[in-house]
Amino acid sequence: MLRHLLARKLVSFRNAVLAQTGWELGRNAAFLMVGFWMLAGLYFGFHRLLRYLDSVQLVGPLLIWKLTAMALMTTFSMIILSTLIISLTTFYYSYDLPFLIRAPLSARTVFIDKSVEAAFFSSWMIALALLPFMLALGAVKSAGLPFLALFCALMVPFLVIATSLGMAFTLLLMYLFPSPRTRDVIWVMSSFSVALLYVLVRVSQPEKLVRPDALMLVSQYLGYLQAPTAPYLPSWWMTQALAAWIGGKTAVAARYAAMLAGCAVAVYAALLWIAQRVYLASYSGAQEGRRGRRPIAVDPTWEQALFARMRSTSSIPSLYWKERKCFFRDVTHWSQMVLIAALMCVYLFSIRHLPLDSPDLKSLVSFLNLGIAGFVLSSLGLRFTFPAISLEGKSFWVLRAAPVSVGTLMREKFLFSVIPMLLLSSILVLVSNHLLQADWFISWLSFGTIILMTVTLCGMGVGFGAVFPRFNIPNIHQIESSAGGFVYMAACLFYVGLTVALEAAPVQMHFQSRFGKHDAWRWPVVAYCAGALAAASLAAFLVPWTIGRRTLERHEEA
């Protein structure tokens, strides 16, 4: 029976591939091509780094294997963390679990089937990211295909151990705390851990380790380089097996490979023993809902109080309250906000440490920073603003049946998106200008431009989301990667590029004036650029907004 359960996954994958449309095939082929070039870029970068380190006497080879041990230990930890998150959904909230639990199958069979699924989805991407490093290591050490075959063989027990530990922790956690809220807390805490690790790695400035002028500092840590890195973890066993193989010590490599294989068998057997006793009980507890402790009466919200003071009878406050409640109840939004905060910290830290020694160069970088900020806003709009209309899902008919116009709904979506986006963009530009010590003209120009750009991009997000609504898609990532998402992102990037291009002429005149040119400012050109920017922003806002409003007004539920 287990064989049939595993075979159904292959059949489902084949059917999903055959059912793809031409657009989906082209999109996936483009994504695969981009992924291939990213992996190729990682390979060439690692190859250059490892080749340079290998040429350094005494320290280089030690540092290579130290980096390998650290990479494997980081991979091991990330796979455990990823398995912890993935297995929560796979073991307790997967769509086919109600059918499998009620089928004449043992709990052991169902768990093995789901454990294979959780192990694959939690580890394949992380393992693939490690492949360019190992390919570069084999090329630098002239190890050839046998080294790559050994790495692939050792990765099997390595992944089994890491994923089994993550799944065992999930089983015990859900058994001891059988609540759906446990999944939400783990999701947020895991995202916070990843964000904190990302910030700490960037703040530590690891690029200093491979700088030629700092290499003598590394030589002071020979004892550290020669010491084992977590000798009781499988990552160190795998490092020792690979190093022994390259060094010609096949007996040592075989001993460490046997340790990995034996440990994998023992850990997975222990996982099955735990699952036999706690899986069904934890699954039953995970399906229970929370007891409501709030009173039935609903007090007026602050949105309603604010609009009441403005003497407005609009239905926007009620829609805004609904949007706010739905947004903050979704735990994935909390985790994404944590990651966005981490990205902002790393972004500003990188701006702070740019090697700029000229005030004019700093001001120029501050102006060019508008393009990067616009790209960041476009990406956030693709994730939050563009899907806002489609996320109403099958309940969209309730809004259409209510005394709420499509224009009111779109204005509420716009207000809910533009306020946090304005706050985020203002922080990025103001703090960047302060760190770069930009002059007053560039500072005020960039601040005004980012405000205009944010308002326009949010309007475009709501407009394009209304032009391409997809109410029957349960996964938000399918909305983002749809044809509408591609059109929206392309339009946003074109608008951002056009904005920077139109403002390039006044900025050039400003720098010419700073360099001493008396007749640098050509006011007709400045007026033309300002008018063109205003017209482009107005068109970018109104055209998709108007088309989207008409599209939603004509939309009928199937």
To the question of pTM greater than 0.75 for the whole model, the response is no
> What pLDDT shows up at residue 273?
92
> What pLDDT shows up at residue 82?
80
Residue 211 has phi, psi (to 5 degrees) of: -75, 135
The helix/strand count (H/E) of the chain reads as 21, 0
> What pLDDT shows up at residue 194?
62
Q: Which of 432, 451, 444 is nearest to 362 (CA)?
A: 432
Longest dimension (CA), the chain: 88
Residue 353 has phi, psi (to 5 degrees) of: -105, 20
47 CB-near residues (< 8 Å, 6+ apart): 136, 139, 140
The tokens of 74 are what? Answer: 């980081």
User: Do residues 239 and 72 lie in contact, with contact meaning Cβ atoms separated by under 8 Å?
Assistant: yes
> What pLDDT shows up at residue 331?
64
Q: Distance between CA 162 and CA 82 in Å, rounded?
A: 10
Q: Distance between CA 388 and CA 374 in Å, rounded?
A: 20
Residue 289, helix vs strand vs coil:
coil
Q: Distance between CA 132 and CA 136 in Å, rounded?
A: 6
**Cα dihedral sign for 388, 391, 393, 395?**
negative
Q: Distance between CA 330 and CA 226 in Å, rounded?
A: 47
> What pLDDT shows up at residue 475?
61
Q: Which of 76, 71, 64 is nearest to 232 (CA)?
A: 76
Show me where the domains of the chain are located.
57-286, 372-554
Residue 402, helix vs strand vs coil:
coil
> What pLDDT shows up at residue 288?
59
Q: Distance between CA 112 and CA 104 in Å, rounded?
A: 15
Q: Distance between CA 260 and CA 262 in Å, rounded?
A: 6
Q: Distance between CA 199 and CA 205 in Å, rounded?
A: 10
Q: Distance between CA 122 and CA 111 in Å, rounded?
A: 16
Residue 190 has phi, psi (to 5 degrees) of: -65, -45
Residue type, position 289, single letter: G
User: Do residues 390 and 473 lie in contact, with contact meaning Cβ atoms separated by under 8 Å?
Assistant: yes
Tell me what percent of the chain is helix, strand and coil, each rounded to the nearest 5: 85, 0, 15
- The position carrying tokens 């006793």 is 277
> What pLDDT shows up at residue 225?
45
User: Do residues 531 and 506 lie in contact, with contact meaning Cβ atoms separated by under 8 Å?
Assistant: no
Residue by residue, DSSP assigns 16-53 as HHHT--HHHHHHHHHHHHHHHHHHHHHHHHHHHHHHHH
User: Do residues 236 and 73 lie in contact, with contact meaning Cβ atoms separated by under 8 Å?
Assistant: yes
Residue type, position 547, single letter: I
pLDDT of the chain, 558 residues: tens digit per residue: 667 777 877 888 788 778 877 777 887 788 788 888 888 988 998 888 888 877 876 666 777 887 888 888 888 888 887 887 788 778 887 778 888 888 888 888 888 888 998 898 888 888 888 899 999 998 988 888 888 999 999 999 999 999 999 899 888 878 777 666 666 666 666 666 666 665 665 565 555 554 444 444 444 444 444 445 557 788 888 988 998 998 888 899 999 999 999 999 999 999 999 998 888 888 877 665 555 555 555 566 666 676 667 666 667 777 777 778 777 777 666 767 777 777 778 777 777 777 777 788 888 888 888 888 888 888 888 888 888 888 887 777 777 777 778 888 888 889 888 998 999 889 888 888 888 888 888 889 999 999 999 999 999 999 998 888 888 766 666 677 677 888 888 899 899 999 999 998 888 888 888 887 777 788 889 899 999 999 999 999 999 999 998 988 887 543
Q: Distance between CA 174 and CA 193 in Å, rounded?
A: 20
Residue by residue, DSSP assigns 167-193 as HHHHHHHHHHS--HHHHHHHHHHHHHH
> What pLDDT shows up at residue 537?
94
> What pLDDT shows up at residue 181?
62
Residue type, position 338, single letter: V
> What pLDDT shows up at residue 221?
47
> What pLDDT shows up at residue 391?
81
Q: Helices marked H in 55-106 — which ranges?
A: 59-92, 97-102
